[in-house]
């Protein structure tokens, strides 16, 4: 162990403390983390006060984090790290539906419902009819695919953000299964754009930067089929004002779709609707599980 370390020698010294790490990947991750952290401090000439502020910030991120309030994940989201990791790892191939973030509002506790079900939980809002089809890479319909969907209400709130109103009752989320023709369909209420949580330390960053905290209107999907890579994705409303300013950088052009507006009339499932309603129709394509990942 050297003493009298300098700005120029300390990085190698700290990196060498990982030489004995038996797992090569753990060693690589820490050696590179030290390199980038030290370079960051040197290049920005980080001051004592700034370092104290950063440590206090991270402590507060930890303090507000709970199983349902993932401020560390949100920090990763607003710094673009979550999407970067998804981009590095999730190559479903040129013909497959693009993936994007899971987000914090997926819940294991969700009702399994038959196709055609109304999953709104009785909440008020503009009726929305979603129809989807799931295909394999050759265009073959995939039957029996587990399709999770979840979304906000017309004021941008998920069910888990409405404890007082819903008392833990799930709404606007469900697990469906594709039929023999690869199709799934359900009724719900239309979602709306919403801000990511800004009442914690991440809100301070967004405010300091004068950044928008908004996420454009979207529906979440998670598709699981035997023999295929799981797909986590979202569909975004084409005419949403926040498409180009998503606070978490998750929008992909290929996932921007029409949320069609209709006057009162017949819905895609044959239901007569006495008020304006919306329809969303999309085809998802999955990749076989064995597909080689890009290096
Ligand atoms: C969401 O889409 O539900 C979401 C994703 C990242 C941060 C906050 C919300
Ligand atoms: Fe969302």
194-252 per-position pLDDT tens digit: 999 999 999 999 999 999 999 999 999 999 999 999 999 999 999 999 999 999 999 99
> What is the residue whose two structure tokens read 């979202």?
234
Q: For residues 172 and 191, what is the distance between their CA atoms, to the nearest angstrom?
A: 9
User: Ligand 1 test: best mutation among 156, 212, 215, 234, most atoms within 8 Å of CB?
Assistant: 215
State the distance from the centre of ligand 1 to the C-alpha of 251, rounded, in angstroms. 11
Distances (CA, A) of 232 to 90, 96, 106, 222, 285: 10, 12, 11, 4, 12
Q: What is the pLDDT of residues 253-284, one digit of tens each?
A: 999 999 999 999 999 999 999 999 999 999 99
How many C-beta atoms lie closer than 10 Å to residue 136's C-beta?
A: 19
Q: Whose CA is nearest to atom 6 of ligand 1?
A: 103
What is residue 91's predicted lDDT score, i.e. its pLDDT?
81
Q: For residues 82 and 40, what is the distance between their CA atoms, to the nearest angstrom?
A: 20
Helices (H), the chain: 10-16, 24-44, 48-64, 71-78, 81-89, 163-166, 201-209
């Amino acid at each position: 162990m050297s003493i009298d370390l300098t700005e120029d020698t300390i990085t190698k010294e700290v990196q060498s403390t990982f030489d004995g790490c038996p797992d090569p990947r753990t060693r690589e991750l820490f050696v590179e983390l030290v390199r980038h952290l030290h370079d960051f401090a040197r290049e920005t000439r980080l001051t004592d006060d700034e370092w104290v502020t950063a440590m206090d910030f991270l402590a507060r991120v930890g303090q507000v984090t709970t199983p349902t309030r993932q401020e560390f994940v949100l920090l990763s989201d607003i710094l673009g790290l979550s999407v970067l990791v998804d981009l590095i790892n999730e190559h479903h191939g040129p013909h497959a539906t693009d993936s994007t973030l899971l987000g914090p509002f997926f819940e294991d506790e969700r009702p399994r419902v038959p196709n055609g079900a109304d999953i709104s939980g009785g909440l008020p809002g503009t009726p929305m009819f979603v129809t989807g089809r799931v295909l394999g890479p050759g265009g073959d319909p995939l039957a029996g695919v587990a399709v999770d969907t979840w979304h906000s209400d017309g004021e941008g709130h998920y069910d888990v953000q409405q404890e007082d109103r819903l008392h833990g009752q799930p709404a606007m989320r469900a697990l469906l299964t594709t039929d023999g023709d690869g199709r799934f369909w359900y009724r719900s209420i239309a979602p709306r754009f919403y801000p990511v949580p800004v009442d914690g330390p991440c809100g301070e960053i967004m405010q300091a930067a004068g950044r928008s905290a908004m996420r454009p209107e979207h529906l979440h999907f998670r598709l699981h089929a035997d023999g295929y890579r799981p797909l986590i994705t979202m569909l975004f409303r084409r005419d949403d004002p926040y498409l180009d300013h998503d606070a978490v950088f998750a929008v992909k052009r290929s996932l921007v779709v029409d949320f069609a507006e209709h006057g009162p009339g017949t819905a895609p499932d044959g239901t007569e609707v006495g008020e304006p309603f919306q329809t969303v129709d999309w085809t998802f394509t999955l990749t076989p599980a064995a597909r080689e990942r890009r290096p």
